[in-house]
């Protein structure tokens, strides 16, 4: 069985698709592309697809991940192109690698987010960010299926800062405006309970009374392991690419050092 890991995006209006909507669209794409999927056992077999830490509905993303299991070997890049052509524009398969290491979900421990605050003066946003970063605790509330829950959002936030311009083209294209606009860059750990960009926005309102006049455009830029030394979020597919490159390099070396059979010319 071959396992392929994919990175896909949610761009433009497709950021409003729910995770279930994407699952249905992706399974249709698998059928259109005639991917030789492995199926689960039981009375209702389903394709072996593992989704990891999907972004909330309404948020864009440049870094969503999933893994599929195949019954026949396929070239990852060829498979990526076929699946990308079978999905609507905005749900784009941008990278595919063969899984050569374990634990993709275990490598998704932090996310980098871009928050576009239309109608907010950057100076006001900077003061609110400073107040949030200086706070020892930032209690926010979230409505759950068990009722209203109060928790501290501050410990999960690794960094929160204003930035001069958006890093994603889609955030600018979705909301062309001549009004003031503040852009925030947020790095947050994946903890329990999960701290989402909406929770950080609630925290900014709590500590600095910052309330954007229109809904905030949120885009995930990256997710992966958080590197404590560099303060960056690393690429979760890098270990698989490195393992593949190591095998490619080792194969010619092994062939060159293999013993020559006796009697061969």
What is the widest separation between alpha-carbon atoms in the chain?
85
Are the C-beta atoms of 195 and 201 separated by less than 8 Å? no
Nearest C-alpha neighbor of 231 from the set 110, 108, 104, 103? 110
DSSP output for 19-88: HHHHHHHHHHHHHHTT--B-B--SSS--B-EEEESPPPTT-EEEEEEEEEEESS---HHHHHHHHHHTS-
pTM: 0.87
The overall average pLDDT reported for the chain is: 91
Segments in 121-196 forming alpha helices (H): 122-134, 169-174
Nearest C-alpha neighbor of 104 from the set 49, 156, 59? 49
Q: Where are the domains of the chain?
A: 2-106, 108-227
Are the C-beta atoms of 69 and 11 separated by less than 8 Å? no
Query: Does residue 260 register a pLDDT over 90?
Result: no
Can you say whether residue 28 is alpha, beta or left, with left for phi > 0 and alpha for psi between -120 and 50 degrees? Answer: alpha
Nearest C-alpha neighbor of 196 from the set 65, 54, 87? 54
Torsion of CA 24, 27, 29, 35, to 10 degrees: 180
Nearest C-alpha neighbor of 241 from the set 1, 5, 53? 5
Average pLDDT over residues 156-183: 76
For residue range 193-216, what is the model confidence (pLDDT) as tens digits? 899 999 999 999 999 999 999 999
Identical fold for domains 2-106 and 108-227, yes or no, is yes
Angle at which helices 122-134 and 197-208 pack, to 10 degrees? 90
Class of domain 2-106: alpha beta
For residue range 34-90, what is the model confidence (pLDDT) as tens digits? 999 999 988 889 999 999 899 999 999 999 999 999 999 999 999 999 999 999 999
CA dist 194 and 153 (Å) reads: 9
CA dist 59 and 217 (Å) reads: 7
CA dist 49 and 81 (Å) reads: 18
DSSP 8-class letter at 75? -
CA dist 67 and 163 (Å) reads: 33
**CATH number for the domain whose boundaries are 108-227:** 3.30.70
> Which residue reads 């299991």 in tokens?
69
For residue range 110-164, what is the model confidence (pLDDT) as tens digits? 999 999 999 999 999 999 999 999 999 999 998 888 889 999 999 999 999 999 7
For residue range 20-48, what is the model confidence (pLDDT) as tens digits? 999 999 999 999 999 999 999 888 899 99
């Amino acid at each position: 069985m071959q396992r392929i890991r994919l990175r896909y995006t949610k761009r433009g209006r497709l950021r409003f698709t729910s995770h279930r909507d994407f699952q249905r669209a992706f399974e249709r794409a698998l059928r259109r592309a005639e991917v030789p999927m492995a199926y689960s056992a039981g009375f209702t077999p389903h394709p072996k697809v593992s989704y990891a830490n999907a972004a909330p509905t309404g948020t864009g993303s440049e870094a969503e991940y999933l893994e599929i299991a195949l019954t026949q070997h396929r070239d990852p890049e060829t498979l990526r192109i076929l699946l990308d052509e079978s999905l609507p524009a905005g749900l784009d398969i941008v990278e595919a690698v063969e899984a050569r290491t374990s634990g993709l979900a275990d490598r998704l421990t932090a996310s980098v987010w871009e928050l576009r605050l239309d109608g907010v003066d950057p100076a006001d946003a900077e003061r609110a960010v400073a107040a949030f970063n200086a706070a020892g605790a930032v209690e926010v509330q979230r409505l759950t299926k068990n009722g209203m829950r109060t928790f501290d959002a501050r410990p999960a936030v690794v960094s929160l800062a204003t930035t001069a311009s958006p890093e994603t083209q889609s955030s600018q294209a979705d909301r062309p405006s001549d009004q003031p606009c503040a852009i925030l860059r947020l790095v947050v750990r994946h903890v329990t309970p999960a701290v989402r960009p909406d929770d950080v926005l609630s925290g900014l309102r709590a500590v600095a009374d910052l309330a954007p006049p229109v809904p905030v455009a949120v885009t995930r830029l990256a997710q992966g392991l958080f590197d404590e030394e560099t303060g960056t979020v690393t690429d979760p597919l890098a270990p698989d690419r490195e393992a593949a490159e190591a095998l490619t390099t080792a194969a010619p070396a092994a062939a060159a050092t293999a013993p020559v059979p006796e009697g061969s010319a």
